[in-house]
Amino acid sequence: MRRVLVLSLLVAAVLPTSLPAQVVLKQGDGKLSVSIQGKPFGELFYGPETRKPYFHPLRSASGKQVTRSFPMISEAEAKAAGESVDHPHHQGLSFTYAEVNGYNYWASDKTQIDAKSGRIRLKRVVSVKGATARMEFEWLDPQGVPILLEDRTMTFGGTAAERMVDFDFRFQALTQVVFSDTKEGMFNLRVASGLEEPQPKGPSASDARLPKRTGVLTSSAGCRTEKECWGKRAAWLDVSGEVEGEKLGIAIFDHPQNPKHPTYWHARGYGLFSANPFGVRDYTGDKTQDGSMTLKQGEGMRFRYRVLIHPGDAVIDAAYRKWAGL
pLDDT of residue 2: 40
CATH assignment of 22-324, among 1.10.3470, 3.40.50, 3.30.70, 2.70.98: 2.70.98
Q: Using a CB cutoff of 8 Å and minimum separation of 24, what contacts does 200-203 make?
A: 202/84, 202/270, 203/82, 203/83, 203/84
Sheet with 246-254: list strands edge to edge: 119-129, 132-140, 146-158, 163-173, 300-311, 246-254, 236-243, 216-219
Q: Give dist(CA 283, CA 244) in Å, integer.
A: 33
**By C-alpha distance, which of 121, 120, 135, 108 is closest to 27?**
135
Q: Which residues are within 8 A (CB) of 179 and not within 5 positions of it... i.e. 6 or more apart? A: 97, 99, 100, 185, 278, 292, 293, 294, 295
- What's the CA gap between 261 and 80, in Å, rounded? 41
Domain assignments of the chain as residue spans, ordered by start: 22-324
Over the chain (326 residues), the average pLDDT of each successive run of 10 is 37 39 93 97 96 97 97 93 92 97 96 96 97 98 98 97 97 98 97 91 66 94 95 98 96 98 96 96 95 98 98 93 96
Report the C-alpha gap between 306 and 319 in whole angstroms: 10
| pLDDT at residue 206, as a whole number | 62
The pLDDT, as a whole number, for residue 213 is 93
Question: DSSP label at 68?
Answer: -
Looking at residue 20, its pLDDT comes to 56
